[in-house]
Structure 1
Amino acid sequence: MNAFEKIKEMLNERGIDGIYVSQQANVNYITGYPDELAYAVIGQNDKYVITDGRFVELAENTCIPNGFKVLNWHLFDRSLPKAISHVCRECKIKRLGFEEKFTTYDKYTELKQLLENDNIELVPVSGMIEELRYTKNDEELANSRKACEIADKALEELIPYIKPGVSERELCARLEFSMKMNGAHAIGFETILISGEKTSLPHGKPDDKVIEYGDFVTIDFGAMYNGYISDMTRTFVVGEASEKQIEIYNLVKEAQAKGLECMRDGAHATEPDTEIRKIIKKYEEYYYPGMGHGVGRDLHEEPFLGNYGTKTMKKGCIITMEPGLYIPGWGGVRIEDTVYIKEDGIEILTKFPKELMVLK
């Protein structure tokens, strides 16, 4: 069963005739459209991509081969809701689902008013396309593998530049340049490259701070390839490591290894957190429990791993494992890999070494 047939089955289950898709990663996933500012409407028998004049040719080249019709919403008084209303009439949709988490209030109110004039009901839905994206097929896995290979290579090329006197911002620029020179279509997300006490910030921002002797350096980054994102974190020490730095690093490394052991087809999202807490118990107050998440077209997708997790890992999921300890005023350590769940185990897609590297 292909994606379109699965969507039609979901429409029937929800008692609706069609769905308006506005979340960009969802649009890209179901249409094959590779850029921004496009929307999709899928009915029982027809499917449309709606974009503006800047992207019509691109949409026609990439989406028509996948069975989509393409509309320029600028031709409907520059109104996306009017274009959607037109599609509903063409497809004879009487109950239209919309992604409630991603539809802005102004678009909702305008669309609701237009559809009511045609006796069409607007119905909120959640997680429908994301359900299809939960596991990855062979093509998606190949794209994710390539994104991880690019990130591994870029980090390897950055290592010689990580030394005292170089700023976080300069290192960040070199890393992102290297990813693109190695084939990334874009960076996967805003790079985290921080040092010293700042490494206690799970999502700290690189700035003009220079690397100092004895600093931790934490780098959390990813490449994007064909729309798929890699996500990896490594933590280094520059110059010489203190006993406490070695202790914390090795504890996080052990915790990450245990977390990886807990990743398998059928495992609940809470399981790694339970086991990791046993290892980092001495420093549990400095532990952030969000130690993993799905990654694909979006950086953060289901399943989310942690004590709040609600999902089950399945064969085909691509998920990160990234436990960390963050001690305010001192620093922190995070080690992260992108992981593919196989039928009989896991494949770690990010290959960069995890032994503590002390960079001279």
Structure 2
Amino acid sequence: MEGRIKLVRNKLDELNLDGIMINNPQNRYYMTGFTGTAGTILITKKTAKIITDFRYTEQAKEQAVDYEIVEHGNSKLETLSEELKDLEINRLGFEAAYETYKQYNKYQDKFGFLELVSTKGLVEELRKIKDASEIKEVKKAVKIADQAFDHILDYIEPGLTEREVSLELEYFMKKQGATDNAFDFIVASGKRGVLPHGVATDKELEAGDMLTLDLGCVYRGYNSDLTRTIIIGAEPTEKQEEVYQIVLKAQLAAIDAIKPGKTGAEVDKIAREIITKAGYGENFGHGLGHGVGLQVHEEPRLAKTGKTKLESGMIVTVEPGIYLPDWGGVRIEDIVEVTIDGCRILTEASKELIRV
């Protein structure tokens, strides 16, 4: 964590700040390794502190060894105010994207002796590039998702409900060590496949349905995200095979194009042009992908508006899709790690059009 603290201090110099207050849970964990659910990080040019309550002081001491732990009483704001005065903070940064307007007003009332300065993505910018330890955790989360997909192929049969499939996925992944779901799983069968975020319902699976499964888990704070589309109890129709192969072609081409220096928009364009030339451009309505790490959706974005240039160490999804009203949909998604000369696919689940 010492290296991350140093990088934040460099940012303080750039922004002419005396310190920054961090409350975003993912940023707090990233900067400290502290897994408690309550605590404010205060980083200045010379100090690094966690202000928390008696429930977490011992835990913070064990997990955040590079930080001084300050226990607050009934009022965390009162303790923060005292610390800021003692440190002679004149310009204090806060996380504009996380703090509410109500909370900002509380800070204004309590910290009237200093200037509050909004910061945007200061820690999130650092989080874009994953170090070796982070990549290891993402790989484990991806492995659990891969195993869950293999497991569910043997479980699925006509007559089961989408909700039953979703519950089985959750149960299996948690047995493998996942601490939580990365998001509400998408289990969308038949015509419901047109819904990119079609969470599970009581609809029964029917023979001949295409079934889109979008699943992921949290492992030691890091997320995975995997989507596959399969066929239930029948051979695919000509239309199902056609749409599937177009999506797969677009996905493989986009993965092949990923390398440092490319923007998210440039990679998105490659997949989008393939789908558009096949006549389904209007049926691919979302971005190609997104960063994955402590949050399942984070920077950088692979989308029409994705201006960020890819760098080695970034981890992103690649997930083109085609969604046809009154028919259904197909989406295929992998997680890839950007390397110095291209990318590495972390997902290992089969991308064949599987019949179960």
Q: TM-score, normalised by structure 1?
A: 0.94
Per the alignment, residue 158 of structure 2 pairs with 164
Letter in 1 for 2:145: A
Seq. identity, %? 38
What corresponds to 2:115 in structure 1? Answer: 121
Instruction: State the alpha-carbon separation in 1 of the partners of residues 294 and 246 from structure 2.
Output: 31
- Equivalent residue letter for 2:273: K
Equivalent of 1:182 in 173, 176, 181: 176
Q: Aligned equivalents of 1:16 and 1:202: distance in 2?
A: 42
Q: Do the aligned partners of 1:24 and 1:39 also contact (CA within 8 Å) in 2?
A: no
Partner of 2:329: 332
User: Which residue pairs with 1:290 in the alignment?
Assistant: 287
Deviation at 1:158, TM superposition (A): 1.2
Deviation at 1:84, TM superposition (A): 2.4
1:103 maps to 99
Unaligned runs of 5+ in 2: none
Cα deviation digits, residues 274-332 of structure 1 (max 9, x gap): 21122112111101241100100011111101111110110000000001011122110
1:4 correspondence with 2:5:
yes
Alignment of 1:48-197 (within 5 A): 48-63=49-64, 65=65, 67-73=66-72, 75=73, 77=74, 79-116=75-112, 119-197=113-191
Distance 2:189 2:245 in 1: 18
Give the Cα–Cα distance (whole angstroms) in 1 for the partners of residues 58 and 184 of structure 2.
30
1:345 partner amino acid: G
Distance 1:140 1:248 in 2: 35
Work out whether 1:41 is the aligned partner of 2:42.
yes
Looking at structure 2, the residues matched to 140 and 306 of structure 1 have their Cα atoms a distance apart, in angstroms, of 24
Query: Equivalent residue for 1:261?
Result: 256
Amino acid at match of 2:218: M
Offset from partner CA, 1:46-93 (integer Å, 9 cap, x none): 112233343333222211x1x2122344x0x3x333232222123221
> One-letter code of the match for 1:336?
E
| Alignment equivalent of 2:212, drawn from 192, 215, 218 | 218
Shift of 1:36: 2.4
Provide the rounded CA distance (Å) in 1 between the counterparts of 2:164 and 2:56: 34
Q: What is the DSSP-based 3-state SS (H/G/I as helix, E as strand, rest coil) of the residue aligned with 2:149?
A: helix
| Structural RMSD (CA) | 1.4
Structure 1's consecutive aligned runs of 4 or more residues displaced over 4 angstroms after TM superposition are none
Amino acid at match of 1:106: K
Residue aligned with 1:314, SS: coil
SS at match of 1:310: coil
Q: Distance in 2 between matches of 1:124 and 1:145?
A: 34
Q: Are the equivalent residues in 2 in contact too, given 1:192–1:218 (CA < 8 A)? A: yes
**2:269 — aligned with what?**
274
Paired position in structure 2 for 1:322: 319
Task: Report the counterpart of residue 21 of structure 1 in structure 2.
Answer: 22
Unaligned runs of at least 5 residues, structure 1: none
Asked if the contact 2:271–2:288 (Cα under 8 Å) also holds between the matched residues in 1, the reply is no
Q: Distance in 2 between matches of 1:312 and 1:38?
A: 33
TM-score, normalised to structure 2, is 0.96
- Cα offsets for 1:150-182 (capped at 9, x unmatched): 111111111111110001111111111111111
Distance 2:223 2:79 in 1: 32
Contact (CA 8 Å) 2:275, 2:281: kept in 1 or not?
yes
- DSSP 3-state at the match of 1:358: coil
What letter is aligned with 1:10?
K
Q: CA deviation at 1:19?
A: 0.4
1:307 alignment counterpart = 304
Moved more, 177-186 or 16-25: 177-186
Tell me the SS of whatever aligns to 1:356.
Answer: coil
8 Å Cα contact 1:151-1:230 kept in structure 2: yes
Letter in 2 for 1:190: D
State the SS of the aligned residue for 1:236: strand
In structure 1, give the amino acid aligned to 2:3: N
Distance 1:52 1:218, change over 3 A: farther
Q: What's the secondary structure of 1:270's corresponding residue?
A: helix
Q: Which amino acid letter does the alignment assign opposite residue 96 of structure 2?
A: E
> How far off is 1:188 after superposition?
1.8
